[in-house]
Chain A
């Protein structure tokens, strides 16, 4: 038998353990996060100010690398592609996802199966998506040759090998992949809409289209915002889809900034330049995420 004094001490050790357990559990991941995410952001930031080539050096040279970056046509193309890809990808994924959600919301019979089918692309790796679409869109293997074999001799769909159109092929594949996810997001939100509101609108004489456009979709604004932020940051991070689908080509006509960064940092021994392009991507992400977080936090504050 332990004496009461000892037991009391044991209790207090346990008590203390219980009190600090959450901190103890959370601390290591937190430190790892700070180190690997924010630490490396800072490190990349510093490298981007140096003249690093094959190996990192810490010889600060100011904004020389950024000046080089902005002078490169390759970066220009990549960033321009990001604007095209990002805006079209976000727009079409939102529109198609939203439309699918509204159609599925009509309590149709095979809803469960359809939902799974639409959602499935999201579970596939970008590499698989890219490869599959590469085959589908390849003029001598895919749709074009198929249609021509069917007898439509003049059919042409060669975007994937066309300098001006290659980036739109990336958009098509990416939209195909993301629409189901957006649909799931919207569908779950549509299901929380009070059915009586729809009934009331019917009694007021509104058509179903009018009810969706005029009443239901406007009330889903927060979902639009979340979907927008998720898609926007996905588009900026896009890398593997381009690698698998076009490998940046023809030439470098369909590269995105992430591909540019990889090319410079890991293949051409231009670590400093790669770091500068990475910082530009970070700035683009921040331009989207920061206002979002700000509005979210402000909304919380105001109740």
Chain B
């Protein structure tokens, strides 16, 4: 059993508030990802969980017990740092064994534990080297080994892959996921990379300026983002935001979507589900959130989906898909179509719009309203 429960945690460095009233629960065996841009307080939150930074306000519980004043070494937590933080003067073997050494394990026990972890991470041949003689990927593995060898109940990862090249990052991501499935330990993983977050997480907590914006499964975060910040942060290319007017045409509720066809402005009407939250707001402006894959070539859209025809300004092939740059309500927007159907830049093309997954945001509060 290893649960983490944080209630109303706040933290400031001098006059800068780094964490504001954070409440967060991590279930036993869960893989929780803290996602946010650099400087939003992710590392600070992780350090607080580990006990490396004192908590100013609020409580933190591990397995239900308040641990605000418990020393980091007594929390049974291991952490992997972004810079790996290996001890430069020790061999890989001693680096990994250091935690056991401090906990008074015998030499034989340490040796056996190091062997086991080293074979799991395939770093047996590196054991006698110093950190300065290792490549970035190898250091990363050693840092993981140092965390694994103690068999702690909670693992914390602080952007462990951000110093690796793209290929290695992909491989290590898979390994970390496998590791989690094998160990079934509770893990909190910090990253600014939304793809890492989406692929690894059981649940994601998105942070901004020391405030948690939304906590949910990757699917929830992706399909029903709580606000425009979350919607824009997750997904690549990001969600298109188009400012439109709510309207009613022939008894059908929907939005008016201005576009450009053959150089001339043209208005389309997109029918939408009329929810309670939207009722009576006709004539007011809202922000329409459309992911690129919701605007696609009409052969791929559902037959009942509304269609628009507009000029394509630019075409960006990515291999699997082609992104078409179009203009909606004066804003550039991206549509994702199959390369087979993509037109030439400057031509016009018919797109079908998947209105069932559209997000609507309030222009002022930036919150999701439908």
Contact = CB atoms under 8 A, between A and B. Distances in A.
Contacts of B351: none
Interface in B77-127: 77-79, 81-83, 85-90, 98-99, 102-103
A200 B146 contact: yes
A205 B87 contact: no
A303 B219 CA distance: 49
Contacts of B56: none
A194 interface: yes
Contacts of A202: 52, 72-73
A201 interface: yes
A215 interface: yes
Interface in A164-199: 194, 196-197, 199
A291 interface: no
Interface string A206-224: 1000100001001100000
A203 B77 contact: yes
Contacts of B90: 215
Nearest to A193: B88
Contacts of B85: 194, 196-197, 199-200
A202 B85 CA distance: 12
B158 to A, nearest CB: 8
B81 A205 contact: no
A194 B50 CA distance: 18
Contacts of A201: 87, 98
A200 B84 CA distance: 9
Given A205-B103, A215-B89, A219-B88, A199 B79 contact: yes
Contact of B89 (A196, A204, A219): A219
Contacts of B86: 197
Given A199-B52, A215-B89, A205 B83 contact: no
Interface in B46-95: 47, 50, 52, 72-73, 77-79, 81-83, 85-90
B30 to A, nearest CB: 21
| Majority-rule SS of A interface residues | helix
B334 to A, nearest CB: 39
B73 A203 contact: yes
Interface string A120-157: 00000000000000000000000000000000000000
B153 to A, nearest CB: 13
A197 B88 CA distance: 9
A296 B47 CA distance: 39
A10 B87 CA distance: 60
B82 A203 contact: no
B73 A204 contact: yes
Interface string A11-46: 000000000000000000000000000000000000
A204 B88 contact: no
In this complex, which of A199, A201, A215 has the most chain B Cβ atoms within 10 angstroms of its Cβ? Answer: A199
In this complex, which of B47, B72, B77, B102 has the most chain A Cβ atoms within 10 angstroms of its Cβ? Answer: B102
Contacts of B73: 202-205
Contacts of B78: 203
B79 A200 contact: yes
Contacts of A199: 47, 50, 52, 79, 81, 85
In this complex, which of A197, A199, A200, A219 has the most chain B Cβ atoms within 10 angstroms of its Cβ? Answer: A200
Contact of B72 (A194, A203, A215, A218): A203
A194 B163 CA distance: 15
B52 A194 contact: no
Given A194-B85, A197-B87, A199-B79, A205 B52 contact: no
A199 B52 CA distance: 7
A206 B79 contact: no
A196 B85 CA distance: 5
Contacts of B83: 194, 196
A206 B88 CA distance: 16
B157 to A, nearest CB: 13
Contact of A205 (B50, B82, B88, B102): B102
B82 A196 contact: yes
30 contacts: A194-B85, A196-B82, A196-B83, A196-B85, A197-B85, A197-B86, A199-B47, A199-B52, A199-B79, A200-B79, A200-B85, A200-B87, A201-B87, A202-B52, A202-B73, A203-B50, A203-B72, A203-B73, A203-B77, A203-B78, A204-B102, A204-B146, A205-B73, A205-B99, A205-B102, A205-B103, A215-B87, A215-B88, A215-B90, A218-B89
Interface of B: 47, 50, 52, 72-73, 77-79, 81-83, 85-90, 98-99, 102-103, 146
Q: Report, nearest first, the 10 A-B pairs whose CB atoms are least far apart.
A: A205-B102, A196-B85, A205-B73, A204-B99, A218-B89, A196-B81, A200-B85, A197-B85, A219-B88, A199-B52
